[in-house]
Amino acid sequence: MKSFVFPEFEIIRDEEKCGQCRGCERQCAFGTHTYDPVADRLISDNYKCVGCQRCVIFCPKDAIVVRPTQSFYRPNASWSREKLEDLKKQAETGGVILTGCGTDKQFRIYWDHIVLNASQVTNPSIDPLREPMELRTFLGAKPDLMDISAKDGDVEIKTSLSPNLMVETPILFSAMSYGAISYNAFRSLATAACKSGTYFNTGEGGLPQEMRDEFGRCAIVQVASGRFGIDAEYLNCAQAVEIKVGQGAKPGIGGHLPGEKVSAAVAQTRMIPMGTDAISPAPHHDIYSIEDLSMLIFALKEATNYEKPISVKIAAVHNFAAIASGIVRAGADIIAIDGLRGGTGAAPKAIRDNVGIPIELAISSLDRRLRNEGIRNRCSIIAAGGIRCSSDVIKAIALGADAVYIGSAALIAMGCTLCQKCYTGKCNWGICTQDPRLSGRLNVDIASQRLSNLITAWSHEISEMLGGMGINALESLRGNRDHLRGVGLYEWELDVLGIKGAGE
Amino acid sequence: MPRIRRELYNKEICACSIFGAMNRDSERFTGAGVMKAIANMHVRGNGLGGGFAAYGIYPQYEDYYAFHLMFTGRSVAAKLSAKKELDAFLCQKFDVVYDEEIPHGDEATVSDPPLVWRYFVLPKKQGEDSLLSDEDYIVSNVMLVNTRIENANVFSSGKNMGCFKGVGYPEDIGVYFMLDKLYSAYAWTAHGRFPTNTQAWWGGAHPFGLLDTTIVHNGEISSYGTNRWYLEMYGYACTLQTDTEVIAYAADLLMRRQKLPIEIVAKILAPPIWNAIDQMNETEKKLLTTLRMVYAPLLMNGPFAIIIGQTGRMIGLTDRIRLRPITAATRGEMFYLSSEEASIRLISPQLDRVWTPNGGEPVVGELNSMRKVLQ
Amino acid sequence: MVRAATSQSSLKPDQVEEGKDALIDATDLQTKELNGRLRDLMLTGVKKVNIINVYGQRYIGTRLYTPEHLKMEIEIFGTPGNDLAAFLYGHKITVHGNAQDGVGNTMDTGEIIVKGRAGDVLAFSMRGGEIYVRDNCGYRTALHMKEYEDKRPVLVVGGRSQDFLGEYMAGGIVILLDLHDQTHEANFIGSGMHGGVIYLRGSVERSQVGGQVDISPLNDADRAVLDQYVSKFVEHFPEIDKSREEILNSQFVRLTPKSKRPYGNLYAY
């Protein structure tokens, strides 16, 4: 069937600069550039280009420009080019439109409407370069009261504490499974996490055997609906176990790792035949109700001898605060909420762009709900879903989160340009692919260095902003909405966020 | 122009444990066993709701409707004021033969109990109301009380049966109302709740009752918004902010008002999927297609396991794809339903038959005496 | 309401006489206590435990992972609660009675024998080891069971299963014997199946089975597999009234996935 769809990107090659080194041909796994030996020039096929910019960055002569094509349909406010062309694709194939990364649609970005405070005169700002600035935080359940006896100088803590994760900075690497991302990318995240005093999350792909000894100490392992790679050793080698109930990019549906990404190594870690689709069903089939989730939480506590905090990751959807409250009561130590703009390796576009709520509203709503019920200290909240910069992190904490997970941001640090073609397995940056030819391009030392740099840079900026607010310990900002004001927001939004308007 | 009220169906999520026990020879037994059984499933709840329904407990008043009322309110004065208003209303609309506070102990761990009272009444129909059947009269007045009289809630309104419920673990509610000491019933249902709203209130616990139909429910009705608007068209007021309400009202509408047998009602609430229907013979196919077409808004979607109690009958039903567990068992004349088998074994270590019913297929236990009448 | 602080169990193991099996009376024991005692017994070197008066305690066998891979045999008298042997790592558990939901949930290695029936989600995500259930089982049996190379889980059920048997199955062997010859009534068998094999004694209608599933007769390799596991089944349950030969000589069908990628055509790229 002839396709009626225009190419999304066009390649403009400066023929004078191009030295016919064929580097672009080698860089592109989509086969966009081919060398024509007769004419001695590179020919580019616009239809194949996904706009990942790899060839542009790596052209030694700076000879290539790749840019989105303009739409030449008659302008139509309702029928955008994307709507038109997705429809045509479906008419051609009868299939579900697949995509990757987080939603790119115009939903209000509340981070950009929130401003921070700074101290002046009455409360001095603190200088982070010379004065201590503490970002360390503990993730897990805290007891309501402590029973401490102090006798003759001997202090005894009688209350036994629930296990907690200690992080040096409130930025953790979000769950991205080995299988969705390459081994090198996965290992880079683990290396950087250990180096920077934070944690990485294995996602639902398991943790390869050879990584457990070295990286278990900064790993959060996931138990997802597909139960891939889960055995008692996997659970016990890590520092926390996370039950994945949902994720922001695709709430309510399962995951689907296409067979071409299930290489021999992925198959071994996930314990399924090579080349099979790795299907994570929508629900955990042993969780159909809140008491079932409680059952799984305690099953994992039993399996880890009550030594690890158990986290539950849910997507932020309409009624989620009530659900989250139930999850806390069900015994979870940490709740990870993933908002509308969360990323993914593969999701139907319809779900990615239409299901879920923005994380900013979710954090406030959840924090308030748990406080109203008097159970806020029974869990920590980790927020995720399109955190882009350090100011987003600090606003998240001020709204009530204990820490954030970064996914897309981490991938971007490693080279990702959000071309949204992760599901093809042909990531030219070596990140979302199992093709060794491609993943070999991602050098673990360099990529992990980029990630550590990111954490360092953001942590420093957070310290600056904290100091500016007159705070020298992160715990004093958590849920402290007094330090936030809204600009350009409706009243109901201010209400949900729980912040005043600027000037009030 | 007033702002259009946004469609905010505020409902709680409810997950839990359910249990039922019935003696088909009509022999009555105390609540002790059922309390023990539901306590065994303690971890399925979180102490924010528990309750029981008991059938055959008021033989000396078996011809009267037994209204169980709770008067909530922050202060004793508020509770008494609600009672005063209710009493006035009741005397107007009913002949009250006898009333008293429902006895309770002190030593249980229940939180903030309301004033709980029972009235044995007969309808006193006047004017247009004389055209209504007794039962319709009761239902409409129960809805009136629950929507109009603040802090008063009728939570049980059948003959020779009653609900006992509140905020606390079910075994504690049982102790509070002394169900093991004061009452003998031929059928008991019980429920332990795991709601997700700490402002749990006594009226929100299960069972939900209307006339002699009671429901205990484990799960979440994802079709609640749809079910609710349909039932509201028929005069049911969904005031209790819990999805279980719609099951109780649907059962009342279909079984009492429309007199449909339970096998048909099950096929409305939990119909087979279209693929299966298309494979059936013509008669069945026509019946099921019609039911699904007409009663589409009553399809209960989402995981559920329910026990419906009625005079002389106990029915267990799960959703079409059995997302919630239910185990049925028999031992002699005893018939049991439970979320977990272990609870049945605890009170009856020997069982004749144990099975897990199919999704969407009701398990019906009936008193032997009733069956003879029907035949 | 102040939440009770989680206390650590520092229970003394029951006195163990040399050569005798250990005994735990589970009357009035909560799940956490019972499992704590089991673990303590294992850590002191006990190899076999009998647990009596079990009524609904959960996750029995789950808290028994050690890096040294210590192993224990456990006999349960009563009705164990949900998630029996979840994440089991190598032990052997025998239930003298019925089991509930979640038996062998994400089990890794070991053996479970149930002298009775099992509930829903039996062998869910099972990845190794063997489970033998004498009577029927409930919904969603062997859901997403998986295997890798020689690590192949096996489930043998003497009775029948309810709907969604083998849903999303990715590997492993499931054998349903229907020893009371009642015919299989389950629907949606093998829905989403993309690995592994199901053997049903008797037959099924095409309409009961998922679209991605092939129904075929047995070959010699299949018969060898059946022989191996049916023999073990019969050994574990001498009380059944059919002999090994009778069972093996019956008609069987084999269900396998048509493709490793049942949803390969679902998406538009």
Q: How far is A73 from chain C (nearest CA, A)?
A: 22
pLDDT for res B168: 85
pLDDT for res A470: 86
Q: Which residues in chain A are contacts of B222 at CB distance < 8 A?
A: none
pLDDT for res B197: 53
Show the low-confidence residues of chain A (pLDDT under 70). none
Active site residues of B: 16
Query: A269: which 2 tokens?
Result: 């870690």
Query: A199: which 2 tokens?
Result: 């944690």
Buried b (16+ CB within 10 A) or exposed e, C188-222: bbbbbbbbbbbbbbbebeeebbbebbebeeeeeeb
Mean pLDDT check: name the lowest of A80-84, A397-401, B240-244, B264-268.
Answer: B240-244
Domain borders along chain B are 14-53+162-374
**Measured on CA atoms in the order A188, A194, A199, A203, is the torsion positive or negative?**
positive
The CATH code of the domain that includes A361 is 3.20.20.70
Q: How far is C230 from chain B (nearest CA, A)?
A: 24
Task: Please spell the DSSP secondary structure of B325-349, one letter per residue.
Answer: --EEEEETTEEEEESSHHHHHHH-S
- For chain A, list the contacting chains (3+ Cβ pairs, <8 Å): B, C
Q: Which of C65, C188, C197 to mutate to test the interface with A (most CBs of A within 10 A)?
A: C65
A492 falls within a domain: no
For residue A303, give the chain C residue with the closest CA. C63
Answer yes or no: are the C-beta atoms of A467 and A453 closer than 8 Å: no
Surface of A (443-472) touching C: CB under 8 A: none
Dmax over CA atoms of chain A, in Å, equals: 93
Burial of B307 (0-12, 13-18, 19+ CB in 10 A): buried
**For residue C109, is pLDDT > 90?**
yes
User: For chain A, what is the total number of helices (H) and then of strands (E)?
Assistant: 16, 23
Buried b (16+ CB within 10 A) or exposed e, A377-390: ebbbbbbbbbbeeb
Q: What is the mean pLDDT of residues B326-346?
A: 96
- Does A433 lie in the same domain as A334? yes
For residue B346, give the chain C residue with the closest CA. C55
If we measure between CA atoms, which residue out of A238, A237, A228, A165 comes closest to residue A201?
A: A238
CB contact under 8 A, B197 and A329: no
pLDDT for res C18: 54
pLDDT for res B3: 44
**How many inter-chain contacts (A to B, CB under 8 Å) are there?**
52
CB contact under 8 A, A285 and C58: no
> 3-class DSSP state for residue A219?
strand
If we measure between CA atoms, which residue out of A382, A365, A290 comes closest to residue A321?
A: A365
pLDDT band at C15 (very low <50, low <70, confident <90, very high): very low
Residue A70: how many CB atoms within 10 A of its CB?
Answer: 9
CB contact under 8 A, C58 and A298: yes
CB contact under 8 A, C139 and B322: yes
User: Of the candidates A72, A95, A118, which is a domain's last residue?
Assistant: A95
**For residue B375, is pLDDT > 50?**
no
Answer yes or no: are the C-beta atoms of C132 and C237 closer than 8 Å: yes
pLDDT for res B100: 96
Q: Which residues in chain A are contacts of C6 at CB distance < 8 A?
A: 160, 162, 306
Cα separation, B313 vs B265, in Å, equals 15
What superfamily does domain C22-257 belong to in CATH? Glutamate synthase, alpha subunit, C-terminal domain (2.160.20.60)
Q: What is the mean pLDDT of residues B33-38?
A: 94
Cα separation, B303 vs B189, in Å, equals 20
Any alpha helices (H) in C181-243, and if so which ranges?
A: 220-236
Any alpha helices (H) in B3-72, and if so which ranges?
A: 32-40
Answer yes or no: are the C-beta atoms of C17 and A171 closer than 8 Å: no
Computed over every residue of chain B, the mean pLDDT equals 88
Q: Residue B207: is the preceding peptide bond cis (ω within 30°)?
A: yes
A138 falls within a domain: no
Q: How far is B172 from chain A (nearest CA, A)?
A: 19
If we measure between CA atoms, which residue out of A280, A263, A279 comes closest to residue A183?
A: A263
Q: How far is C179 from chain B (nearest CA, A)?
A: 16
**For residue C210, is pLDDT > 80?**
yes
Cross-chain CB nearest to C119 (options B276, B321, B325): B325
Query: C36: which 2 tokens?
Result: 């704590």
Cross-chain CB nearest to B196 (options A288, A298, A326): A326
- For chain C, list the contacting chains (3+ Cβ pairs, <8 Å): A, B
For residue A37, the cross-strand partners are none
Residue A461: how many CB atoms within 10 A of its CB?
Answer: 16
**HEC letters along C88-115:** CEEEEEEEECCCCCCCCCCCCEEEEEEC
Rg (CA), chain A: 24
Chain centroid offset of residue B58 CA: 18
pLDDT for res A408: 97
Interface membership of B15 toward A (CB under 8 Å): yes
Interface membership of A332 toward B (CB under 8 Å): no
Q: What dihedral angle (degrees, nearest 10) is formed by the CA atoms of B177, B183, B186, B192?
A: 10
What is the amino acid identity at position C63?
R
Q: How far does chain C reach from its first CA to its final CA, in angstroms?
A: 54
Q: Which residues in chain B are contacts of C59 at CB distance < 8 A?
A: none
**For residue C8, is pLDDT > 50?**
no
What is the pTM for the complete model shown? 0.86
Query: B98: which 2 tokens?
Result: 């006898």
Q: How far is A320 from chain C (nearest CA, A)?
A: 24
Order of strands, edge to edge, in the sheet holding B65-71?
B94-101, B115-123, B65-71, B152-159
Q: Which residues in chain C are contacts of A93 at CB distance < 8 A?
A: 268-269
Q: What is the mean pLDDT of residues B64-70?
A: 96
If we measure between CA atoms, which residue out of A402, A429, A434 comes closest to residue A418?
A: A429
Interface membership of A378 toward C (CB under 8 Å): yes
The residue that leads in pLDDT, C161 or A288, is C161
Answer yes or no: are the C-beta atoms of B132 and B139 closer than 8 Å: no
Which stretches of A180-330 are assigned E, i.e. beta strand? 200-201, 219-223, 240-244, 255-257, 278-280, 310-315
pLDDT band at C268 (very low <50, low <70, confident <90, very high): low
pLDDT for res B214: 95
Q: How far is C223 from chain B (nearest CA, A)?
A: 31
Q: Which residues in chain C are contacts of B319 at CB distance < 8 A?
A: none
Cross-chain CB nearest to C98 (options B322, B341, B358): B341
Q: Which residues in chain C are contacts of B276 at CB distance < 8 A?
A: 187
- For chain B, list the contacting chains (3+ Cβ pairs, <8 Å): A, C
Q: What is the mean pLDDT of residues C46-68?
A: 95
Dmax over CA atoms of chain B, in Å, equals: 67
**How many inter-chain contacts (A to C, CB under 8 Å) are there?**
164
A125 falls within a domain: no
What is the amino acid identity at position B237?
A
Crossing angle for the helix pair B282-294 and B262-269, to the nearest 10 degrees = 60
Cα separation, A350 vs A98, in Å, equals 8
Q: How many domains does chain A have?
A: 2
Q: How far is C62 from chain A (nearest CA, A)?
A: 5
Q: Which of C121, C139, C165, C184 to mutate to test the interface with B (most CBs of B within 10 A)?
A: C139
Cα separation, A331 vs A350, in Å, equals 33
> 3-class DSSP state for residue A30?
coil
Answer yes or no: are the C-beta atoms of B88 and B141 closer than 8 Å: no
Q: Which residues in chain A are contacts of C265 at CB distance < 8 A?
A: 95
CB contact under 8 A, C7 and A285: no
If we measure between CA atoms, which residue out of A299, A233, A298 comes closest to residue C69?
A: A233
Q: Which residues in chain C are contacts of A98 at CB distance < 8 A?
A: 267-269
**For residue B201, is pLDDT > 80?**
no
Chain centroid offset of residue A457 CA: 18
Q: Which of C7, C40, C59 to mutate to test the interface with A (most CBs of A within 10 A)?
A: C59
Q: What dihedral angle (degrees, nearest 10) is formed by the CA atoms of A247, A249, A255, A257?
A: -130
CB contact under 8 A, A290 and B194: yes
Cα separation, A151 vs C158, in Å, equals 64
Q: Which residues in chain C are contacts of B358 at CB distance < 8 A?
A: 162-163
Domain borders along chain C are 22-257
CB contact under 8 A, A291 and B323: no
CB contact under 8 A, A299 and C108: no
Residue B112's region, left for phi above 0, alpha for psi from -120 to 50, else beta, is left
Cα separation, C34 vs C55, in Å, equals 11
Which stretches of chain B are assigned E, i.e. beta strand? 14-23, 29-30, 50-55, 65-71, 94-101, 115-123, 152-159, 161-166, 184-185, 187-195, 208-210, 213-219, 304-310, 313-318, 327-331, 334-338, 353-355, 363-366
**For residue B8, is pLDDT > 60?**
no
Q: What is the mean pLDDT of residues C44-58?
A: 95
CB contact under 8 A, B359 and C163: yes
Give whole-number Cα distances, B291 to A492, B268, B272, B286, B361, in Å: 43, 6, 11, 9, 15
The CATH code of the domain that includes A60 is 3.30.70.20
pLDDT for res B13: 57
What is the amino acid identity at position B277?
I
Domain of residue A21, residue span: 9-95
If we measure between CA atoms, which residue out of B75, B246, B90 comes closest to residue B157?
A: B90
- Does A173 lie in the same domain as A87? no
Q: Which residues in chain A are contacts of B13 at CB distance < 8 A?
A: 290, 319, 322-323, 326
For residue B110, give the chain C residue with the closest CA. C1
A408 falls within a domain: yes
pLDDT for res B373: 54
Cα separation, C200 vs C142, in Å, equals 14
Q: How far is B85 from chain C (nearest CA, A)?
A: 34
pLDDT for res B224: 84
Does domain B14-53+162-374 fall under CATH 3.60.20.10? My reply is: yes
CB contact under 8 A, A160 and C58: no
User: Of the candidates A73, A95, A117, which is a domain's last residue?
Assistant: A95
A486 falls within a domain: no
Q: Which residues in chain C are contacts of B279 at CB distance < 8 A?
A: 207
Pairing type for strands A334-338 and A310-315 reads: parallel
The residue with tokens 């028929």 is B234
Q: How does DSSP classify residue C151?
A: B
- Does A468 lie in the same domain as A388? yes
CB contact under 8 A, A289 and B45: no
CB contact under 8 A, B303 and A329: no
pLDDT for res B15: 62
pLDDT for res B199: 59
What are the φ and ψ backbone dihedral angles of A468, each rounded to 5 degrees? Answer: -60, -30
Pairing type for strands A334-338 and A380-384 reads: parallel
Buried b (16+ CB within 10 A) or exposed e, A429-443: bbbbbbbeebbebbe
